[in-house]
Structure 1
């Protein structure tokens, strides 16, 4: 019997199966008239709307604005949360003192913070970026601190026995040991930042972005444009997550060893 490794081409095509099934189910729902045709355009109409939006620059502009806000929010969250997570993870008593506050705000839906951020920062890009930063930073902070606190004790003890200083142990052992969990936080953080940015673009006085495009198209019953923007947002989220996965495989190649 031939092993699964003998069929690399078939394995590489497996992800396409899900896409084909989705498209077939979509066409089946239209043929069976399960949904009003006005509300559910065909995949072809949706792809045509996406191509038109990219060609004339409107969808591409909104896509790039959402990318800009999401990446900026994630970068700010990383700069704030990673050092703080390392500090909290290195001093468990300090983390315990702040654990309730961190978990409380981490469990609070970021959308519930919109009114507060609007009052403080007003309507504008700053509010969208900062509320996304807030949500992403808490997720990253928790994962970094957890990774530092759960660094392998035998490696820490080995470094101490060999006479390594506290600073060297922190940066050359603890920090590296925490990277797998840190990347878990980064993937979750960028996904959450994208969700918050898209929702903020819908409801916080935005003139562009994928969220604004989805909301405007829905209000005008331009359903192909709405679905095109939704799929563009989904593709963006998938690509951002994939980017961090590739970076993790290259930078944390020792994970699990």
Structure 2
């Protein structure tokens, strides 16, 4: 009985996870089959899937996928290394944070793509410019979220630790840091999404020879629509996969959140 219940639960969970992709393919097929979208602009989903599988097997799509993932990874590592300490330092002092809040919000509200010319002047063509502009955009999001988390750490736990004689360093290490983690992960997931968007756009327009962004724009120029749509789907898979990975890490690291 127990095994049957577990198998039913597994089957139900599998159906729930499969519903989204099935609905996407079904809506795509209906739009293609009914002519709601010009078939010259929207290929069959099944032809697209077949072409994508072929590109995966040949290794060509994997090379571009890996190039984009590498650039996103480097930009996030830089953003985390620079953003988390800066956010902690700003959040630990409300007056300091208020004095630079305008600058953070100003640049956070400025589209990262508008900064491409500046980063091209600073870093030139090539990967450094792409990674730098994505890292900068992700850094701003992380700084804001980490600082917000530090500023809004629950005071009851901090006061309880201080009442027991804990030093400021001990309070930060054992209380404030852990109180900040949920907001930090929110910022990290947002930063990864922004970094991916910036990298894809940079690969399209800043002299890239590989990457999913380059592949999408190259397929559009050559009118290879199945490759174009397949590459777009691949970027969605990457973004979804990275977000899911961070959610899994978050659940394992801060399983105590909300208690």
- C-alpha deviation, 1:21, in angstroms: 2.0
- Residue from 175, 199, 206 that aligns with 1:204: 206
Question: Which residue of 2 is the match for residue 133 of structure 1?
Answer: 135
Structure 1 unaligned residues grouped into runs of 5+: none
- 2:14 is equivalent to residue 12 of structure 1: yes
- C-alpha deviation, 1:7, in angstroms: 5.5
Question: Which residue of 2 is the match for residue 22 of structure 1?
Answer: 24
**Distance in 2 of aligned mates of 1:127 and 1:63:** 19
**Distance in 2 of aligned mates of 1:131 and 1:71:** 13
Question: Which residue of 1 is the match for residue 105 of structure 2?
Answer: 103
What RMSD in Å do the two structures reach over aligned CA positions? 1.3
Tell me the TM-score normalised to structure 1 length: 0.96
**Distance in 1 of aligned mates of 2:53 and 2:27:** 22
Question: Which residue of 1 is the match for residue 40 of structure 2?
Answer: 38
**Distance in 2 of aligned mates of 1:162 and 1:105:** 41
Question: Which residue of 2 is the match for residue 60 of structure 1?
Answer: 62
**Distance in 2 of aligned mates of 1:175 and 1:18:** 37
- 2:172 is equivalent to residue 170 of structure 1: yes
> SS state of the match for residue 241, structure 1?
helix
Question: Which residue of 2 is the match for residue 72 of structure 1?
Answer: 74
Structure 2 unaligned residues grouped into runs of 5+: 1-5
Aligned residue pairs, count: 253
Tell me the TM-score normalised to structure 2 length: 0.95
* Matched ranges for 1:146-185 at <5 A: 146-185=148-187
**Distance in 2 of aligned mates of 1:21 and 1:83:** 43
